[in-house]
Structure formats: structure tokens, C-alpha cells
Amino acid sequence: MAIATHDGWVAAAKQRVVWKKTAARTTVANRWFSMFELAGLPGAGTLAIGNTANGVVHTDATAGYPTINAFGGAATGYLGRVEVFNSVISRIRLFDRLFSAGAYAFNANTNLAAQPSFLGRVPGGTAALCAGCTELWVEQVTTATGVQNVNVRYTNEAGTAGKQTGATAPSTAPTPGSMWQLPLAAGDKGVSLVENVTGTVASAGTFNVHVMRTLFDIRIPVANGGEVWDYLRTGMPILFDTSALFIAVMADSTSSGLPDVQLDIVNG
């Protein structure tokens, strides 16, 4: 059942999850970067998703994500206390990575079919509840020659198919791990299905497309500094014991630093 009181929170089972990297990435200042394939804890994942035709739904059992213990009975999971540190001034954002597809060629024009549903990891489990919850992101896999533009056709939270993000690009040619968010069409509030991925402008390079759900976003204001948030500051976002927890870093400088993130996952 859901936790409804402070006493329920105190009594609930808790798991400490550690996410830290032992290798830094060369970055572009003030741009989001993935560190998914770099060494650390959990171990490195594979940057290229490995499925362009249908896409995949990653879980905590997929290499590169921290393991979450199974929740007992009908328990609901939440993000509790978080401790976040980094060796450089930066923003650090935690996502549940719901759906992924790639790696697409720079000039891809791919219609997806038989896509697995990710709605089981949207709180409430319906397309309508993707509103204000699901976001579209691009993650560069190999260096682009030219500024990679990406357009995604998708179904929105109301079940309307054929919506378009429009071709969207970063300010300069993206390098591996570089990430940028795609804007939804006017009036849309979420994504419930990815239909087509199209790449333009660049003449080389590959990229992934992800549907993700933001869980928190923290600013580290000084090098070698950190932030600690209790459950009142995290807002108690719901988690699942299959959640694929994914960290992105936006550094003020040209290095990602060595982020260290520790989470309390609470279920009761």
C-alpha cells in the first residue's frame, strides 16, 4: 500500500543504492552528458541500445543500472533521501529510463513496429498519466560529423498519433554521450509511444532515442561539494523495483567530474 504518514515512512523498508563513476568524461560546458558506458558502480552499460526496429524497455536487470530489491506484496516504492556529490560544479539529474531505441544512423528514417509498452513504469500505468511525466531525449553514441538533427514522431498522452518534435539539434556537433531534450508539439504534455526516428544534416555518427521520466535535478554549486535532500525535498516520486535509474551530468566546465550519488529507495 502507499505510505500515507510519517510513521509509515519511518517504519518502511529501505534500500541504499549507490551510483558513482570512476572515470570522467570530456564534456561541453552547459550540455547534458550520459556516463552510462563508463566504469564505476554499477558497472558500465552499453551505450548503443542494440534495437532500432522496435526499441526496448530496460530494467534494473540490464547492465549499467543499479539493482533494486523486489518490493514485497503490494508495496509502493518511493525515492527518499538522496546524497549527491561531484568534483566539479555541475547539475546532476536522475531519470527512470523507460524506453530506448538505437543506435540510429545520422540519416535514419525508421518506422518502429511492435514497440514494447513502458506504461507499467508510469505511475498509474495509463497513457493519460504520461502527461507531465515522460520526456524525449537524444543520446549521441558515436561522434557526429556536422550538427546532428533529430525528429521523432510519437503518440501523445491523449493517444493522438503522428505528433512531431520537429528537427532539433544541439548547438555544435555532438560527441559520444552528449544529450539533448526534444520539444513536444504545442499542447502536448507527454509521450506514450515512439513511432518514427529521423536524422538529418549530419554526415556521420549514430544516436539513441529515449523516453525518460525525471526523478530529481540537483545543482552542485562548488567543486568537491554536494547536496543532501530528505524525502520532503525529493517530493517522494514513485519508483518501481524494475526502474532503470539513469544519471546525466551537466558540468559548467569541460569535464563531467566524478559524480557520486547515493539514494534511499523506500517501500511500504
Q: Is 8 helix (H, G, I), strand (E, B) or coil?
A: helix
- From the CB of residue 40, how many other CB atoms can be counted at a distance below 10 Å? 18
**Cell numbers for 267:** 517501500
**Cell numbers for 19:** 551510483
Map out the domains of the chain as residue ranges.
27-68+91-223+245-256
For residue 118, what pLDDT is reported?
Answer: 98
For residue 32, what pLDDT is reported?
Answer: 98
Distance in angstroms (rounded) separating the CA atoms of residues 174 and 166: 18
Locus of grid cell 523498508:
13
Q: pTM value?
A: 0.94
- Distance of alpha carbon 26 from its chain centroid, rounded? 20
Cβ 17 vs Cβ 265: under 8 Å: yes
**Cell numbers for 106:** 545520422
Distance in angstroms (rounded) separating the CA atoms of residues 50 and 232: 38
Element (H, E) at 6: helix 6-11
How do residues 207-248 score in pLDDT, each as one tens digit? 999 999 999 999 999 999 999 988 888 888 999 999 999 999
Q: What is the largest CA-CA distance in the chain?
A: 58
From 212, 149, 205, select the one nearest 177 (Cα to Cα): 205
**Paired residues of 82 in beta bridges:** 229, 263
Look at residue 14 and tell me whether its pLDDT is greater than 90: no
For residue 1, what pLDDT is reported?
Answer: 58
Q: What are phi and psi of 49, to 5 degrees?
A: -70, -40
How do residues 110-164 score in pLDDT, each as one tens digit? 999 999 999 999 999 999 999 999 999 999 999 999 999 999 999 999 999 999 9
Task: Classify residue 183 by its DSSP letter.
Answer: P
Q: What are phi and psi of 17, to 5 degrees?
A: -115, 130
For residue 250, what pLDDT is reported?
Answer: 98
HSE toward the beta carbon, residue 115, CA cutoff 13 A? 24
Element (H, E) at 135: strand 135-145
Look at residue 2 and tell me whether its pLDDT is greater than 90: no
Alpha-helical regions (H) of 85-204: none
Region 4-33 average pLDDT: 89
For residue 51, what pLDDT is reported?
Answer: 98
How do residues 33-89 score in pLDDT, each as one tens digit? 999 999 999 999 999 999 999 999 999 999 999 999 998 777 789 999 999 999 999
For residue 205, what pLDDT is reported?
Answer: 98
Stronger pLDDT, 9 or 89, i.e. the higher one: 89
Confidence grade of residue 8 (pLDDT, cut at 50, 70, 90): confident
